[in-house]
């Protein structure tokens, strides 16, 4: 069946199943969920969302995010999966995110039984020293082994990687994307590291031992990582954290390259660089530049709040216009 759009129904289980808290993580802030989720909550979340999602022509999945799903007791995993499967006439599958070291044959057998379509592994980095410094409690070898086992069970793989973790560098981040791509995932999520108030990373930041990437570096590195995924046909389904009041409020993010439209900024910068290379090649200035772009590229070409148009005007006295095809 050819689906036009995929909808995830997110069910956040903040920190559930996690053996400890990684130094950058505060899932209650990231997800905005403060209480423990029950089966009744799962049922209500799915049913509420299904009531206004289209009935045909799209893929709908229930998605357990925000913790380490396969770190829950097997019994509780089964209860949640069984509850989600009550909606199997409307759901096309289930997806979940988890830690690489919590993948084994028991959890995959259970996942298969309940039509789990995708497992997203929070690999974060392929550099073992970065993983150690961030107190992840697993190594890249665990991610590679988990990816292989997931593929043996014919479940689709997603990878979640981070940009600018404590102890990382732009080079290590780009290498992480290349290593992640070699695991043959179907999709990827890229999260720039944000310093959340009250985390160990926040302490390191306040002690001057951690410097977050500035926005320019984060955009450049993320762009390189996205390109690596694109070249391998891996869809980057998310770039940057979603905007939530608990994250953007006073005691949410205290440092780091946050922007509610981070993905758009990355793509806008890519377009700016492409057009600027041409402007320099043709030695253009004081003119109108017409960029021929597809309709869906108009806004990223002009840039968020017209930032690219203003950049070219300021730097080259060039008026940027788009001609959409
Ligand atoms: S395993 Fe994931 S959800 Fe759990 S504390 Fe670490 S980053 Fe947060």
At 191 the three-state DSSP class reads strand
Higher pLDDT: 204 or 21? It is: 204
Higher pLDDT: 65 or 325? It is: 65
Please, what is the average pLDDT of the chain? 93
Mutate which of 20, 23, 66, 67 to test ligand 1's pocket (most atoms within 8 Å of Cβ)? Answer: 67
Confidence (pTM) = 0.92
CATH class of domain segment(s) 5-260: alpha beta
Please say if the pLDDT value at position 88 is more than 70: yes
Look up residue 39 and give its two tokens.
């089966």
Mean local confidence (pLDDT), 128-153: 98
Mean local confidence (pLDDT), 265-293: 96
256 lines ligand 1 (CB under 6 A): no
pLDDT band, residue 314 (cuts 50/70/90): very high
232 forms beta bridges with none
pLDDT of residue 252: 87
Give residue limits of the domains in the chain.
Answer: 5-260, 267-324
Token pair 């920190």: residue: 15
Please say if the pLDDT value at position 69 is more than 80: yes
Atom of ligand 1 at shortest distance to CA of 24? 7
pLDDT-above-90 percentage for the chain: 84
At residue 85's C-alpha, the angle toward residues 83 and 88, to 5°, is 140
Please say if the pLDDT value at position 1 is more than 60: no
Please say if the pLDDT value at position 179 is more than 90: yes
pLDDT of residue 2: 57
User: If you measure from the C-alpha of residue 25 to the centroid of ligand 1, how many angstroms do you get, rounded to a whole number?
Assistant: 6
Atom of ligand 1 at shortest distance to CA of 17? 4
Name the closest-CA residue to atom 3, ligand 1.
67
pLDDT of residue 298: 94
Q: Are strands 253-255 and 195-196 parallel, antiparallel or unpaired?
A: antiparallel
The distance from CA 16 to its chain's CA centroid, rounded to whole angstroms, is 19
pLDDT band, residue 164 (cuts 50/70/90): very high
14 lines ligand 1 (CB under 6 A): no
Mean local confidence (pLDDT), 66-72: 92
Please say if the pLDDT value at position 3 is more than 70: no
pLDDT band, residue 251 (cuts 50/70/90): confident
pLDDT digit string (tens) for 225-242? 999 999 999 999 999 987
pLDDT digit string (tens) for 20-48? 899 999 877 666 666 788 999 999 999 99
| Phi, psi for 156 (deg, rounded to 5) | -75, 145
Contact residues for 59 (Cβ-Cβ < 8 A; gap 6+) = 3, 5, 6, 7, 92, 93
pLDDT of residue 64: 96
């Amino acid at each position: 069946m050819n689906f036009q759009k995929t909808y995830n129904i997110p069910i956040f289980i903040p920190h559930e199943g996690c053996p400890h808290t990684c130094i950058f993580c505060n899932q209650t802030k990231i997800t905005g969920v403060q209480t423990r989720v029950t089966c009744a909550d799962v049922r209500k979340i799915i049913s509420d969302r299904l009531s206004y999602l289209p009935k045909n022509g799209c893929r709908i999945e229930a998605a357990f995010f925000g913790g380490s799903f396969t770190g829950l007791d097997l019994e509780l995993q089964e209860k949640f999966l069984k509850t989600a499967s009550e909606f199997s006439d409307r759901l096309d599958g289930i997806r979940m995110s988890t830690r690489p070291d919590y993948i084994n044959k028991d959890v995959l057998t259970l996942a298969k039984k309940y039509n789990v379509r995708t497992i997203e592994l929070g690999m974060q980095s392929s550099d073992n020293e970065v993983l150690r410094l961030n107190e992840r409690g697993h190594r890249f070898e665990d991610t590679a082994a988990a990816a292989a086992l997931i593929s043996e069970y014919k479940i689709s793989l997603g990878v979640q990687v981070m940009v600018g973790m404590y102890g990382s560098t732009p080079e290590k981040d780009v290498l992480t994307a290349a290593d992640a791509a070699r695991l043959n995932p179907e999709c990827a999520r890229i999260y720039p590291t944000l310093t959340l108030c009250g985390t160990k990373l926040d302490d390191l930041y306040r002690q001057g031992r951690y410097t977050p990437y500035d926005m320019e570096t984060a955009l450049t590195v993320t762009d390189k990582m996205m390109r690596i995924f694109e070249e391998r046909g891996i869809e980057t389904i998310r770039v940057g954290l979603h905007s939530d009041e608990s994250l953007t409020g006073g005691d949410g993010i205290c440092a780091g390259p946050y922007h509610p439209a981070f993905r758009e900024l990355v793509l806008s910068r890519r377009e700016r660089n492409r057009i600027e290379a041409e402007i320099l090649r043709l030695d253009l200035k004081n003119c109108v530049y017409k960029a021929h772009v597809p309709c869906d590229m108009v806004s990223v070409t002009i840039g968020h709040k017209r930032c690219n148009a203003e950049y070219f005007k300021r730097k080259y006295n060039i008026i940027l216009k788009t001609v959409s095809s």
